[in-house]
Structure 1
Amino acid sequence: MIIGITGQIATGKSSLAQAFFENGFKVFDADKTYNHLLSSDTMMREEILFIFGTLDRKLLLNNVLANTELLTKLNSITHKYVITQMHKFLKENMNNNIVLDVPIPVRKGFLDLTDIKIVTCTNQDNQINRLKNRYGVNEAQAKKRIEMQMKMIDYINIGDIILNTDNTDNEDLIKFVKIFKNTYMKGN
């Protein structure tokens, strides 16, 4: 079974993916893969450098936060490399239960590959607080990062399961995974 986890920034995707990992699932983390490729994949780095003139993560972030067209350009460069790595991961783990932790649910290379899509969501105050704690940003910067994402309703519309993470902790997520397995994976 291939489970897709998606949702806006700071909604609990990685925490949920970790709970699945702790229950024996193989997890592909698109964000971690992107960060690894940004430091190691020569072709991707050259494409980014050609368009943006830098590989510095903070400068790239500042550029895309200031201009949505630049975000689209960056995504068009990086997605193909991340999707290639994801296909490699899927091939290597085809006999396992798999979780794809992907922040941008593209039709080809995510939506078409997953058996069940779980969308994580939380209220915007939680998102802002999580972003402030994680990245040391102020409220305006946190809101800007959220605004650059797909709208929450668009995530919800593609989800088979919507998981509200407003008041969840790791123990709650482990329980969710156990319930998920009992409900959707009898015999696995």
Structure 2
Amino acid sequence: MRIIGLTGGIGSGKSTAATMLAEAGFPVIDADKLAREVVEPGMPALRELAEAFGEDILDGKGALRRSLLAERAFSSKENTERLNAITHPAIRRLQQQRIQEAADAGAHTVIYDMPLLIEQGLDEEMDLTVVVHTDRQLRIERLESARGISPQDAARRMDAQVDDETRLSKADVVLDNSGTLEELAQQVDRLVDKLKKS
């Protein structure tokens, strides 16, 4: 099983590239979806979070009150580390399960779509790291027009991620998304050809 890490900064178009790769027939495992799944009612990580951060992070139906957890978990470095110590292993187990499911279904290559792939050092575990890159100012403009995120908030979110230079230095393949959607699709098509031939 070959695992391709797909990453890119917020607003880079990584999700668009992931959709294109899925349409080309590759199983895509979305790390953000896994992160939401591990804290659904009934999941062990949710129980651990409630024990660590207070039962009131759960609503009356046992669902996570995300804003309250975020307020507490990001109030100190220690709390953030405690959050990560609970959620990261749970996400990792679910990731391995999804990879195994893809292998059992006959897949030879799986795409692991993860915004913080490099920040968490997981690029080292990938067979190939693909970075979707877009100029910072263009990302800010796209985030404002597509998601209604203010330029200041967009810049703050970008600054919380690894810088573009570091991200690009870790890339085996760079998809430049500074142009049109068609230009991105052409680059994805070339990547698909490369993956299918190797």
Q: TM-score range with shorter-chain normalisation?
A: 0.7 to 0.9
TM-score, structure 2 as length reference: 0.78
Report the equivalent of 1:116.
Answer: 128
Structure 1 residue 43: Cα displacement: 1.9
Match of 1:23 in 2: 24
Contact 1:65/1:145 (8 A) holds in 2: no
Corresponding residue to 1:152 among 164, 179, 196 = 164
| Larger deviation, residues 91-100 vs 136-145 | 136-145
Deviation at 1:41, TM superposition (A): 5.0
Residues 23 and 177, structure 1, Cα contact 8 Å, conserved in 2 = no
TM-score, normalised via structure 1 length: 0.81
Residues of 1 paired with 2:183 and 2:145: CA distance?
Answer: 21
Greater displacement, 82-91 / 130-139: 130-139
58, 69, 79: which one pairs with 2:88? 79
Amino acid corresponding to residue 163 of structure 1 in structure 2: L
Q: Distance in 2 between matches of 1:133 and 1:69?
A: 36
Equivalence map 1:118-137=2 (5 Å): 118-133=130-145, 135-137=147-149
Could you give the per-residue CA deviations for residues 47-106 of structure 1, whole angstroms, max 9, x where no partner exists? Answer: 333444433333445566665654444333222111111101111112312110011223
Cα distance in structure 1, aligned partners of 2:130 and 2:178: 15
1:156–1:186 CA distance, 2 compared to 1 (3 A)? same
Q: Residue 87 of structure 2 aligns to which amino acid in structure 1?
A: T
Distance 1:61 1:126, change over 3 A: farther
Measured after TM superposition, the shift of residue 151 of structure 1 is 2.1
**Seq. identity, %:** 28
Alignment match, 2:193: 182
Which 4+ stretches in 1 moved above 6 angstroms?
none
Q: What is the CA–CA distance in structure 2 between the aligned matches of 1:144 and 1:63, rounded to whole Å?
A: 20
Bigger Rg over Cα: 2
> Structure 2 counterpart of 1:115, which letter?
D
Question: How far has the Cα of 1:15 moved from its partner?
Answer: 0.9
Moved more, 133-142 or 84-93: 133-142
- Asked if the contact 2:26–2:110 (Cα under 8 Å) also holds between the matched residues in 1, the reply is yes
Greater CA deviation, 3-12 or 44-53?
Answer: 44-53
Q: Which amino acid aligns with 2:33?
A: K
